[in-house]
Structure 1
């Protein structure tokens, strides 16, 4: 008899969802490593004891400028200037904005009476639990008092 009056089995309905994504192309700043220069020189002393530059080879990279000079005391002075080099490379960035779940329509909505019964049933269940706790507490109190 209970099989005839029972509820039908649960039917799971897939919930549709949609995801919006935005592809943004932007330029990303990339710092290049510093440039360098290689200096090779042959310095000799002449008959008077002065330093003479006999041979000089300077190899500069793209953004480096090296300058050599000899002061009046015979010191070799090297000056180098570099410019910081930055390039901008294109980059794609994907941003997922939000996932929207599309609600599935309900086959048969609850009536006001059914909604009220559900709400009152919850309150009644809470009241029954409260009374059960009070009775158990009262019984423990009576058993300890003896």
Structure 2
């Protein structure tokens, strides 16, 4: 106990080592080292999880683009609008257009005319991505030596 261990742990260590003080001390030191190692591993695991989550959020934000002032779509505000019942992609477009102003985004989402404009913009962006993917696939086929007309 004079080494800083509490009475309960000291007694337990002595019992586990047949009252051998040296063995009990070794046991307590080893147990403390294991606890520290476990703590370090837990912290490392937590950091890894945090980085994975950050990477996921970063990719999700990139998916929705940036506002006219080049700010990422605020995922907390997006979550609020989705909770209310709006489609995620539509709510993200409304926030993007309105510089993450929830009230203005909500106004756009509840106005049939602006809601329709948002949907048209989303569909246009989807078609653009699909065409880009298709063009990329055709380009790969052409690079393999096939005629461009056969890739369409």
Normalising by structure 2, we get a TM-score of: 0.28
- The answer to which structure has the higher strand fraction is 1
Q: Does 1 or 2 have the higher relative contact order (CA < 8 Å, sep 6+)?
A: 1
Normalising by structure 1, we get a TM-score of: 0.29
- The answer to which structure has the higher helix fraction is 2
